[in-house]
Structure 1
Amino acid sequence: MENEAKKWRFRPNEAINTAADITIRGVLNAIMSCLDSEDKRPVIPLGHGDPSVFPCFRTTKIADEAIVEAVRSAKFNCYSPTVGILPARKAIAEYLSLDLPYKLSADDVFLTLGCTQAIEVTLSVLARPGANILLPRPGFPFYEARAAFSNLEVRHFDLLPSKGWEVDLDAVEALADDNTAAIVIINPGNPCGSVFTYKHMKKIAEMARRLGIIVIADEVYDHLTFGSNPFVPMGVFGSIVPVLTLGSISKRWIVPGWRVGWLVTSDPNGVLKDTKIVECITGCLNISTDPATFIQGAIPHILERTNQDFFNKITGLLRQSADVCYDEMKGIECITCPHKPEGSMFVMVKLNTSLMEDINDDMDFCLKLAKEESVIVLPGRSVGLKNWLRITFAIEASSLKEGFGRIKSFYQKHAKIQ
């Protein structure tokens, strides 16, 4: 059998497993494998942002009805155009234009399988030989994984916790060179829960213009803000610098499993068209796949009919949960929060392993926490910061409080004796 096996000439592409291991899904799967099957307590999911499993975060009935209506109409059982069906693209253009000083058209909008595919397409389009891209640290590791898969060099710039996780602008300018294609800005922030001010966003746009690079604006958490800073889309500054805006209905409508997103050229000066970036986006989508057509068909009704009361309810729940999260952390000595979250569904906290007897680092903390307390938290190294933790507060308040109670008990069991 051993000699026979040597005849097979195929081998797996190891780059896939290497890339997959650094994604949030890959890390959380490893942590969840440590759960103790004998622990009968419910698992507290503080590791990823999917509040849809909790009844208080149910999506609006308008969205449900739009899906049903689209299916029953029998108008959307066909293949979709590779860029998305026209009514959905028009509706997204109108939705995003509400926050902009200019009007988007359907030609500016490309539908994708969630924001994830929007990232894949964007990085594929920019991955010419020798190119590099600037990514935030901490950030969303899917960018690193896809960049590696596309042989696109990654250069990291820091977000500054002491300044509300703002971009270190001086560091960005020092990183960029003639091969730099773009900078990624995630606002509202995953994993930091930060919301950038208009002033800071304008500085980013002006810097990108000086450097001659695109701004990739990851705005999947658009309008999920509950602090002092309102959401400002990077597209507001599209006349200063060309912007590729990435978004979806996943977070604001609490439907991550519906997998409908968009890639939008926020570029009133037409730079992206002149440089053939738009042509390349279309070409990439021609060799890719599309969101389900019936969900695309529901998009106009979802965007046009959802009332502000639903959005107010969701941001109100997130505000309350963020308050609970921030208050509960104060009683756990081994973690500190440098900046109270003001948006998205996450917060970054600093882990002090020197206060614990047998915890080596953030990964060790998360693995043992899962095994001993059935609480799932994401280690900071997964998003670029070792010995930090990313915690989601987008769960119901009672589960959130129980989760922090278990974390406190875990710390007390492992605390060094003074």
Structure 2
Amino acid sequence: MKTIYKKELARIFKDKKMIFSVFLLPVLIMVGIMALVGNLATRQVEDIENHRSIVYMINEPDSFSAFLEAADLNMEVNTIKTDGERENVMDLLRNGDADLLIEFPENFDSMIQEYQTGDEVPQIKTYYNPSEDYSSSAYELISNQTLEAYRQTLLSQRVADMNGLQIFTVNSDNKDMIVQDDHKASGKALGMMLPYFITILLFAGAMGIGTDMIAGEKERGTMASLLVTPVKRKSIVLGKVFALMTISGISSVIYIVVMGATFPKILGGDSGLDIEITPEQIVMIGILLVAIAFLYSAIVILISVFARDLKEASTYITPAYMVVLVIGMMTMFTTSEAGMKDYLIPFYNTALALKGILTSEVTMAQYGVTLVMTLVLGGILTAVIAKAFESEKVMNL
């Protein structure tokens, strides 16, 4: 077992290209993807903010025109005078060539100034296209914010004491309204992303190397030579499983260190993340990563045993990879508090535990159950692999 273990590790660590492709390339790709996504998202926000909104208005009153001019908003205002022009603007909104249409009732100013109790309250109608970012932004800025400020201005002209209309205010002078544990909040933000990335990268790393350890050697004919040597087949199995577990474990540690260090910077300086991982959390994550690496290594090798070559092994492993990917993604959108029964679900429990460690919400009982379940399942699969190695029918596929 020791000889097999050393042989598999030497194959990786004595090849600089393998070291780069196994340990560094996946991290560089993932960090690059996250940085690119973050950069594109920032550019999108800046583009929307800098966009000059194209706004059309019907029957706009002089008071609103003056209000807009004083507000100095980044918008192009066009006036509609006929029903035909109104229909054309509706088409422009559908096609994304216009951002907002504001329709005032006729004689709006006189209706406001001459209003008597019991009169019909004037209604301002707005039209926008929620499928267009520019249109949605214009609606939020102008329809929701600017028109509300305009309403308050007109109301102040009608009512001498505006305070008399305010029954109460909400957080008008409350600078301490946000009450949170910054460490827990940062851990939650990190806990949404890291478990997912660790899960898929860990499995992907084991998948690439593990298939070559078994199916690759079958394809090259070296497995047949190895099986006829005076070595217990159980030793061959354990040597390969532990070698793959070691390689996967090292890669997972690299992933979490790099992702933890770059995550706040990728989000930007205004992210507000204050990530501090305690020694206890590091130990818990490290032990769990070893268990996950063991389980994933056993899965990959078990599937590879029943494949004739690398191509067939990759075909068999892809569905398992998709299942692991989906399960890892589920923790990103989980809002309810996980119960003990959730930590009994294989694969899902490891993602939950990683997230719980980072947010300091996982209990030692939940962590222990996850660890035991992962190790036991990995052990069972390893026993199945050893049994398969004893079968000449399976090994001669």
TM-score range, shorter chain: under 0.3
Larger radius of gyration: 2
In proportion to residue count, which structure has more helix? Answer: 2
Tell me the TM-score normalized by structure 1. Answer: 0.20
Which structure is richer in relative contact order (CA contacts within 8 A, separation 6 or more)?
1
